[in-house]
Structure formats: C-alpha cells, structure tokens
Structure 1
C-alpha cells in the first residue's frame, strides 16, 4: 500500500498551478483544500512578517504543529493518501516549508514569464469575487481574521482611488514590494514578481534531495499532457491506468500559449524582456 505523502506544488502566479492541482486531485486518494490557496495557514504564527519570503528560522514548534495538523485534516476528511497543496507565495519560502514538512515532495511548474505577466495583470485589477473570498475565509485561523480583514478592506479601498485601478497588493509579497510598487508600472511589478518567484524557487529546490523534486515546463504539459502526468505519477509512485490519465487531461488546453505576450503588445514585451531577460534566457524563453 502506498504511504501517506504531502505534495507541494511550487509555481509563480499564472503558471498553471491551479490546472496541475485540479488534474492531480481528480484521482482517487489524492486530496486538497476546497479553496484556491492557503497562504493564511502558512503564515499562521508569522502573520505580521512583512513579506512572504519567510525564512526557515521563523518556524516555531507551535506554527509547525498547526500547519501539519491542517494537512492531516485534509488527509482524514478526504481519505487522501496524497495531500496536494498549492499556494503561489510558497515559491518564496521553500526552506520554511521544508522545515515544517521535512518529507514532502515538490512539483515545480514554470512558464514563460511574459505570458505569466500578461495574465497576472488581470488579477491585480480584478473586481471583488464574494464566492471566491468566502471559500478562502473558511481556512483563515480565527486569531488572524481581524488582521486579514483590515488588510483586505484597505486593498479594496485602494483600488477605488488607484490610477491603474489595481489592488493595494496581490500575489506573492516580495521583501521589497513597497519599493517595487512605487518605482514600477503594474506590468513591471508582475514581471518582477514572476522573476523573484522562479529565481528563489529554483535556487532553494536545488538544495533539496533530487528524488523529492520534479520540474515541469508548463508549455510541455499543456501541449502533451498525458506523458507529463505519467511522469509526475512515476515520481510519486502512484499507479493510474492510461485511460484514466487520458480522461483527466482531456480538458487541458494549450490555448493560452502566447496569449499574454499578444495582449501586452510588442513594445511592452520588449521592455519586460529587457527587465527580466537573464531569467527568461535561463529558462529558454528568450
């Protein structure tokens, strides 16, 4: 019988993390939270830490016990052998996660940063989604609710008066986020978020045992998903019939490839490539 396992999906915003989580959790014995992300759970005990780049030395016994207990809740209530967790801000704190879950495995999914930027900008300017919000509120630690309530209210008020009609914050919060927001356009902010996420994730995951990490290129997954999913299952030691794998990826589409670049336009793409060029080259996107 397969042993219990925690699987953390690591990926920058708009890099296919939701898609990958949903495909994986469509299989028997693989569960996850019934909401988009659990950043509130990861930050419990560090709720006032100024960014999502929380170092490993901030892991306290109480915070670690709380987080592990939430994983066990999902394992128990969903009868799951594998618990899948996906929060984009986790790109910034892999050593922290590794200290909390020292035996977890990681799927690192990455995507063309310019395409991801074109998609992320839409989230920064999105209108209020009450059902989405209520799904996440259920998993906010009760003692942290007042803090997050005030922050969320401020972000919405900020959007009303912002020249770019953007939220005060969205996505992974970088160490120097305030400075970045002050000095850069919204497109540049999204590009720099992507860059920091993939740079930190790649560097930190390289310090973890290779047998606990698998890397997935978004463009490969959406173009030919069945072999990529089989490769992930081999990594996990999970057995699934080929017909079920084909059915699970039937809805995966490559229709978003190049969409972000097209929406931004050639001139803006050139500016963003100049800003994040070294990282794009390293990943083969430039």
Structure 2
C-alpha cells in the first residue's frame, strides 16, 4: 500500500501507560533479537505465521501467546479492524538506530505498517524521505516504506513501539482519509472500551503461481520509479515480454503443478536475459538496484517453493480465540500446533558438506560471512540463527538448566536434527535470492556455534568448519565494547546474574564470573570459548577445518576469499575492493589500534587469556591452507 506523503498521523490515540504496562509484564524471554541483526534492536512477536515463534512473513497468520496476554493491544487491533499480518512490540536501545533502508520486499507492496509509540523519549527521531518526526507516546502513525527511512534513539532510555502490519480493512481507510484532510481531533480508545476478541488475520499473503495481472501491476509500479535510463527501460521491456509468455502459460496451466517445469524455465530464461543486460548494476533514482527489486517483487514470488504450504495448498492450522471475561482477563484456551510437511526426503540429507564459521565473539565473523556468501553455489539464511536453533525443543538454555550454550553429540537426537535441518533449509537463499531446490552447500554463522562443533558434527559428519582468529587484544576490546553498549544482551532474564546484563554467548561455568568486573568476565568468556572450540576442532578429521586470520583477511580480502573458497571446494568470481564495507554488527568506527585505548585494562587481564591465545595462534598457523595448496 502506498502513501502520497512520507508520514500520516491518524486521528486516533491510545493509552500509552496501559500499553507500557502490558509490554513490561511480558517475560524477558519473549524479547528476541531483530531478525536483521541490527544492534540494539529487539522485538516481541505478537502475530506470526501459525502463531509460532518465527520471524517469517509468509503463511497464514495467528496470534502468539504474547498477544493473547496483551488485552489492550487486542482491543486496539479490534478497534482499527484491519486484516492483520506480522505484528510486534519493537524495542530500540538508547544510542542505537534502525539504519537507513527501503522496504522493497513483496510483503510491503500490499502492507502498511502502523506505529504506536508505547515508551519513548524526545531523542527518538523517525526520518522518512525528507521528513523527520518525533512520534509521541500513544499516537498512531503510518509511513511510506518505499521511501528511504531510519530511526534514531538519541535518548538515554529504550524506545518501544507497537508495530502492526496490515493489508487494510476496518476503519483504517477512513482514518487515513481524515488524516490527509486534516482538522480532525484524535479520539481516545480507553482500555476496556471494547472487546479484543474476533481479530481477523491474513490467511493468504503469497501466491502459489503469480498471475500475469499481478505481475503487470508490479511492473507498472517499478516503471513509475525507474526513471529514463535507456538500459533500465530496455530491461523492463524484456520483463514485459516475459510476462506475456507467462500469461500464455497461465491460460494453459493456471496454478496446476503440471505447469511448474514450464514456469521454472521462463524464470530461468528471463534471469539469464537480464544478466546479460547487467541488470544487477542498474540503479534506479531511489538508489535501489533494478535487479534486486525485480527479484523481490516478481521473480522470487512468481512460483512458490515446492515444499511450502502454499505450493501444496494445505489448509492453515486453526487457532482458538482466547476467552475474555468481563474483567478483561484472558484465558489461553489453546496453542498452535507446529506445521509439519508431508513425508519426503529428510531435510538433513539435503545438505552437502555444510560450512560453519566458528570463532570467539566479536572476531569479525559477520564481515567474513557477509563477504563469503557471495561465492557462487553457496546458500545461507542471511542472518545469525540464534532463534532458529534455540527454538528446537531441548536446545535453549532455559530448557537445559541454564548450563550454557554448549551442545554436544548426544544433544543431536534424530528429531532435533531433522527439525533444525528443516529450519535452515526453509530459510536458505543463494547470493541472487534464489531458494534451494535440491542438495546445497550452506554456510552458517552464529557466534554461539563456537560451543556446538560436536553437535553439528553429529548431524552432518561431512560438515566443514572455518576457524576465524582475530588478535585477542582487538577482540577483548570489542567484547568489552559490546557489553557496555547494552546491544548484545542475549539472556536478560538469566537467573542468578546480578543485573540482567549478560551479553554474548553463555559459556560453561558462567556462574563463577558473577562477582567479576566486565574486563575479567570478557577475558574468561574469550578463554573458555577458545579452549572448548579448539578441543572440538582438533578432534575432527584432516581437511575438515580451515583457518583464516582476520587481519590478513582485512588486508587482502580478494586473495583470502579465493584461497578460502578453493580450500572448501567452491569457486570465487567476485572482485573485491581494497576496503570492505562495514558489517551490520559494527559498534564503532573500525581501527585496529582501538584496543590501545584500554591497553592497561587488557594487560591486567592478559594472564587469563595468554595460554589460550598462544594455542589459538599455533592452531591458525597449522591449519591455514596456503594459497598455492588451495588453488
């Protein structure tokens, strides 16, 4: 859905104190890191596919247990009356931001995002296009997500917004028309003024086979923003011809499975044709690359993945409404059943020599991962997999007595292994955004995996591991910076930890660290992780572990990527500059000498890490494959 202006403040308002009380009443475990990995961003999932603990945006939507605890939130949603998609409480830590971006995913062509500030401060600024606003607590806003936008929290307290996605419906169009005209005084919906039952959730949000009429709608939208560059115009004319061919086959097959091979062939042909026109390098006036928006709006969504519920036309799971007493209290009368695909080849067998990047926290693994995923033939989830892994029953620390993030071979039961493999496989995409259709090479990077090598080895005995070493002094500085930032808190409700500030991975023996200061905690965190990781890697067979030095990688990214790719049996066809872009988890401006600002602090804790660092350096020297041997 599109707006004619960057922002609209709707003439309706809500009780921010009542909303804040509901947000604060949710357990700490309900808050999860933002799926993009933006530092300091976290969320509580309120509406998700099937009501499950997921950040996906495709599939029939339902209320989560968290939403069913929030009576006033449900009343707000019922009052607006929209057909609801993914919705969340979204938190932004002080001093953090949502970086500038444009929402071009298919989902956003049909959805509006409603923002209702719950807890805010004057330093929270929302910029969209050329406008910047501060949204006051209890107000109700919508904005144009097709313009470049960002959020800054320059205050000293966390910002929390209620963020509701909808395709429209109810009184929303009326509110938007009134906002455009102006002059309407916002009315208050007080808590308890109406029922929060009978919410309507979207059941269809992606096509089994996209119709040619929908394709033409998306193409017209892209043409509006494309400008007059002759190369862009030529590329879009090619897409027009592709849609004509699609329409002919749509008339023949419609959405029937018999047409799948024909549709796949058309997609393959148009992608090849546009590659010759170098469409991936053509930039539109809004600074979005043409190839990317065509993939997001048309090609990736033109044909549902054969394993998806949409492709198999399976009915969504029904969810019971919570029972609402006269007092407004909510009784949870049921919970969602997890969807399970029909029997077919086990997901764990669809992986060929999966690759795991392992290192101590803050060692540069995000930058290595973001660079390495550009290798041809490699698939990745596109983000760290904290929730994906810990959502598997029995793998999250709260279900293991809060021992640590360490997982070993006997934790890899067949049921857990298959569920985890399915979770990975369903989120994989290659560098061009294509989803897998058969066996794949996957690269996975989640910092906690440094404590899980035997676990992944038990699931995939052919897995290979890439050990990344970064100078320990630089890493200790970066880890201390992460702890102090507050943006890397992984378990704010950790029982027995003094102030709920535990950050980064949970190491074995963490209980012994609670009386220490951050420099000592960090040093032990680094040393314990290194010793566990090296013990596990040394038990693996020859050729299953490659090593890379972060400093060498920064200095010679091209040759290091060529070396590493060859060592694990992949090609490398990208030209990298001398300087790599910043990773999305960067806290402060990179400087290899930053650690010297805390040299006296680091030297004081150096005896804690010294032996482990000597071992790590030797391991790096022994396992780093020379360029000539990898060629």
Residue aligning to 2:136: none
Residue aligning to 1:138: none
1:203 aligns with 2:548: no
Please state whether the residue corresponding to 2:576 is helix, strand or coil.
helix
Determine the C-alpha separation between the residues in 2 that align with 1:128 and 1:216: 27
Residue 52 of structure 1, CA deviation = 0.9
1:95 aligns with 2:454: yes
Determine the C-alpha separation between the residues in 2 that align with 1:68 and 1:58: 14
Gaps of 5+ in 2: 1-350, 583-588, 619-631
Structure-1-length-normalised TM-score: 0.77
Task: Provide closer, same or farther for how the CA distance between residues 189 and 97 of structure 1 changes in structure 2, counting only shifts above 3 A.
Answer: same
Determine the C-alpha separation between the residues in 1 that align with 2:503 and 2:406: 15
1:86 aligns with 2:445: yes
1:251 aligns with 2:251: no
- CA deviations on 1:194-247 (whole Å, 9 max, x unpaired) are 111122111211111221210111121112222211111111221223xx2435
Rg larger in structure = 2
Residue 179 of structure 1, CA deviation = 1.4
- What's the RMSD between the two structures over aligned residues? 2.8
Residue aligning to 1:279: 612
Q: 1:262 aligns with which of 593, 596, 616?
A: 596
Map 1:125-274 onto structure 2 (within 5 A). Answer: 125-127=484-486, 152=492, 154=493, 162=499, 167-182=500-515, 184-241=516-573, 244-247=574-577, 250-251=579-580, 255-259=590-594, 261-265=595-599, 267-274=600-607
Residue 128 of structure 1, CA deviation = 5.4
Determine the C-alpha separation between the residues in 2 that align with 1:104 and 1:70: 17
1:46 aligns with 2:405: no
Residue aligning to 1:58: 411
Residue aligning to 1:26: 374
The alignment covers a number of residue pairs equal to: 248
Please state whether the residue corresponding to 2:485 is helix, strand or coil.
coil
Range 8-17 or range 70-79, more displaced: 70-79
Task: Provide closer, same or farther for how the CA distance between residues 128 and 93 of structure 1 changes in structure 2, counting only shifts above 3 A.
Answer: closer
Determine the C-alpha separation between the residues in 2 that align with 1:66 and 1:8: 18
- CA deviations on 1:162-216 (whole Å, 9 max, x unpaired) are 5xxxx5322111121121122x210111111111112211121111122121011
Please state whether the residue corresponding to 1:170 is helix, strand or coil.
coil
Q: 1:17 aligns with which of 355, 365, 370?
A: 365
Is the contact made by 1:123 and 1:170 (CA closer than 8 Å) also made in structure 2? yes
Which has more strand, going by share of residues? 2
Is the contact made by 2:404 and 2:507 (CA closer than 8 Å) also made in structure 1? yes
Please state whether the residue corresponding to 1:214 is helix, strand or coil.
strand
Is the contact made by 2:353 and 2:460 (CA closer than 8 Å) also made in structure 1? no
Which has more helix, going by share of residues? 1
Residue 39 of structure 1, CA deviation = 2.5
Residue 256 of structure 1, CA deviation = 3.2
Structure-2-length-normalised TM-score: 0.37
Is the contact made by 2:406 and 2:452 (CA closer than 8 Å) also made in structure 1? yes
After superposing on structure 2, the runs of 4+ consecutive aligned residues of structure 1 that deviate more than 6 Å are: none
Residue 94 of structure 1, CA deviation = 0.8
Residue 255 of structure 1, CA deviation = 4.6
Is the contact made by 2:554 and 2:579 (CA closer than 8 Å) also made in structure 1? no
Q: 1:114 aligns with which of 473, 492, 503?
A: 473
Determine the C-alpha separation between the residues in 2 that align with 1:55 and 1:284: 25
Residue 281 of structure 1, CA deviation = 2.7
Gaps of 5+ in 1: 134-147
Determine the C-alpha separation between the residues in 2 that align with 1:181 and 1:113: 22
Determine the C-alpha separation between the residues in 2 that align with 1:78 and 1:195: 39
Please state whether the residue corresponding to 2:354 is helix, strand or coil.
strand
